[in-house]
Structure 1
């Protein structure tokens, strides 16, 4: 691996990942530095222990291994190294490793502080504080990375349904989205007209039915009036021949009146 590739790998890391990497390096360096020192009373001899020394050396070794694992998980993706799938995301694994390191360092500090009461001169050294700072930095950065990813997922979910043409991202930069062009209104009306069934023309049939009903009503009224007239004539004992003869005599009298009127007018003119 050359320096150019390492440079590109570091540039691809996010700010949170860089902080996690710095925290892992601080833990690794702090493991080799002194963690605890005591001074014996009888000969004033000073004993100094690093992360791997004393009866708590196993705890320091576990902290060191987990820091290396966290650093490997952090850069494995950028080095194209496949990691076995454990059912958790990379950020969750980093949070677990760095959080466990912080917890173990705190336990170690508590034990050394309790033991220092048995000696006249016992102190916690710089190495354990360096490891504690690195563990807390890595744990907080891993937690911030998880929250950032959740926020991006929620933002992508809502941005996917936005019909707005312009919106702001988290960095404050504006970017435009192509809006879907709505269909013309004329095409929509044509589609609705095609979808609707044509109404059946029943007006003509209704009009014809009404006319037929009117004619039938008139014929019925005429037949009823004729039947009534026949009934009254039969009751009165007048035959149809008498009615016809009376009508003829009435016509003849009208004609005579007309001729007489004409002759009277003629003599008056004379």
Structure 2
């Protein structure tokens, strides 16, 4: 889960295989190990629980490869036909698909998380709470070092386009810099809402022996995507819309050289997926 709202979700599908295109499908095949290692740090789990974490993350990678990766490939194939006339439509479609992929992943993992939570001990729940507290302290320290929000967002956009093999010209950079000023800085509010969500999560985990625990935890996990209430979600949606418009307008006014460079990068991503799917079909 992102530590701050990602207003550049349109970049999601375009960069998800970046590491694979550089290091090959080996990186992708190790993704379940990285994910398992991440969850293992939450508490001192038993050997049986660790085996369950490893099985779930391995099964998740298999599921993602079988069900989601072909869909991502299809989106990338569509993006290969991007031009200044259809950029708006394709960027919006990419954003919508990105939302769908995230939702599908959340739905897949929620069931396993709820089942796994029922095996936790009181001490492990305390350890999980302590783990989140350490993360929150780390984020607070990091926030003190944060610079001007618009400059950080501008830098993120430049980096995002660079990953897509697009070198922006001065006019495009000026356009981005001007329009990101409309984006609201929600970093502090997001952090507060996230901390409250974690506090409620620990309370729910402590009631895991109560009737209705499964539904209560599932509802809480789903609520993560709508933190802060209607007003905050409205600001978030507005930020996302501005982000989509910046990306689509920039691509709609891209030069032929930039478009061709972008397409070459997309072809690299597609080739990475093809290698992964080919390797998996031989298993």
Is the strand fraction higher in 1 or 2? 1
Give the number of the structure with larger relative contact order, counting CA–CA contacts within 8 Å between residues 6 or more apart: 2
| TM-score, normalization by structure 2 | 0.26
Using structure 1 for the length normalisation, give the TM-score.
Answer: 0.27
Bigger radius of gyration, 1 or 2? Answer: 1
> When you count helix as a share of all residues, which structure comes out higher?
2
